[in-house]
Amino acid sequence: MELSKRLARVQPSATLSINAKAQQLRREGVRVVNFAVGEPDFDTPAHVKQAAVQALHFDRTRYTPVSGIPELKQAVCDWIRDFYGLNYSPSSVLVSCGGKHAIYNVLQAILNPGDEVIIPAPYWVSYPEMVALCDGVPVIVDCDFEKDYKLTPALLENAITDKTRLVILNSPSNPTGCYYDRDELVELVAVLNKHPHVTVLSDDIYSHILFNNRKWVNVAMVDETMLPRTVIIQAVSKTYAMTGWRIGFAVGPEEIISAASTVQSQSTSNPCSIAQWAAIAALRGDQTCVARMAEEFENRCQYLVERLRQIPGVKCVEPQGAFYAFPDVSAFYGKKYDGIVVRNSVEMAEYLIDKANVAVVPGSAFGNDRCIRLSFALSWNELEEGLNRIDTALKALR
Ligand SMILES: Cc1ncc(COP(=O)(O)O)c(C=O)c1O
């Protein structure tokens, strides 16, 4: 059967397929250490689960307004005010089925065929594919290891054309953990101020998982003139260990939010009613669970990076947030095992799963073939065991 031509430009999610392979091996009884996970290994807080149970008891089980219940939209505004120091009204908020869905709705709402979207690489796997699905043109900008994989003002300036509609910033980043501090954002905004036709999609979904006492900041916070052309993406997924509940938000100029709501109204309608009530409990409830989780990720991060850097040939930027490390393993490319040469990140991931039963995601999925992505949303035992296996496997390559 002939399928849509649009789909020919889109790859299936590599992270989901590696995870599936790891799960299959586990079902076969193999002890796999899965560094490919993209979600916190903590339980959703008890008070959030309780709110969902209560929502069921109160029969909050019908359609809700397409863009979310007013109580949740107000909770998002209050949460953003407290955390960002920015004031939004509920009409600036769209509640979607996860941050991913929120991004997709916004892209559908603002992109015309041929519009360019600047995506610094390494990037989150879905950005270029979603842009392509919306008939936009992903403009990938390679960022250097030496600059902690961050977009510099010069790289940004170089990438902007008359057709640029959007630039996507993701801090702290999946997959590198890189974080833009205030000074770096001020410099990027100085470039953006010369190009008022460019809007920023600020994917902030790891904002609450920050290390080394970093303070939260994004483009709109360093310069409020950016507010009319910044769309913030947030979600309860990573911050409150609620990946399966599928609640995320787009927050920004009313015109864009209203258009994105129209997209949602003709595709999914409202996100799950019960999950929306649970999200209110997450945003308004006790926040100590968030700090505890971030502290635990920071400790694991230190251990992981230290162990990786002890392996001769591995280079790794120190993550400043989120729960991923992105080591450069390209020094091992060209080396062999059982007569087979490992030539790139996909073959490295295959080698590690086949020979060491360790699942990682190839860096090529994130636009950098020199690296592999390791999540540290794993128990300490698994972290230690997995790193022992990686250490042995890499040293076995000749
Ligand atoms: C950078 C980034 N943005 C957005 C998302 C989507 O999150 P959600 O699960 O809320 O859809 C993810 C999930 O992995 C992510 O890493």
Using the atom order of ligand 1, give the atom closest to the CA of residue 39: 14
* H or E segment to which residue 391 belongs: helix 380-396
C-alpha span between 284 and 72 (Å, rounded): 10
Whether 204 lines ligand 1, by a CB cut-off of 6 Å, is no
DSSP string covering 107-158: HHHH--TT-EEEEEES--THHHHHHHHTT-EEEEEE--GGGTTPPPHHHHHH
C-alpha span between 21 and 362 (Å, rounded): 13
What are the extents of the domains in the chain? 5-43+289-396, 46-284
Q: Whose CA is nearest to atom 7 of ligand 1?
A: 99
Residue 14 confidence (pLDDT): 64
Whether 366 lines ligand 1, by a CB cut-off of 6 Å, is no
Residue 308, helix vs strand vs coil:
helix
Residue 329 confidence (pLDDT): 98
**Average pLDDT along the chain:** 96
Buried b (16+ CB within 10 A) or exposed e, 92-129: bbbbbbbbbbbbbbbbbbbbeeebbbbbbbbbbbbbbb
Residue 37 confidence (pLDDT): 87
- CATH among 3.90.1150.10, 3.30.420.40, 3.90.1170.50, 3.40.50.1370 for 5-43+289-396: 3.90.1150.10
252-264 per-position pLDDT tens digit: 999 999 999 999 9
C-alpha span between 304 and 281 (Å, rounded): 33
C-alpha span between 382 and 376 (Å, rounded): 9
Q: Does domain 46-284 have CATH number 3.40.640.10?
A: yes
Whether 248 lines ligand 1, by a CB cut-off of 6 Å, is yes
Residue 2 confidence (pLDDT): 85
Whether 263 lines ligand 1, by a CB cut-off of 6 Å, is no
Whether 105 lines ligand 1, by a CB cut-off of 6 Å, is no
CA angle 234, 208, 76 (to 5 degrees): 40
Q: Is the peptide bond preceding residue 153 cis, with omega within 30 degrees of 0?
A: no
Q: Whose CA is nearest to atom 16 of ligand 1?
A: 174
Residue 17 confidence (pLDDT): 67
Residue 15 confidence (pLDDT): 63
> 96 with 105: CB under 8 angstroms?
yes
Two structure tokens written together for 27: 């079902």
226-251 per-position pLDDT tens digit: 999 999 999 999 999 999 999 999 99
Residue 377 confidence (pLDDT): 96
Can you list the residues of the chain whose pLDDT is less than 50? none
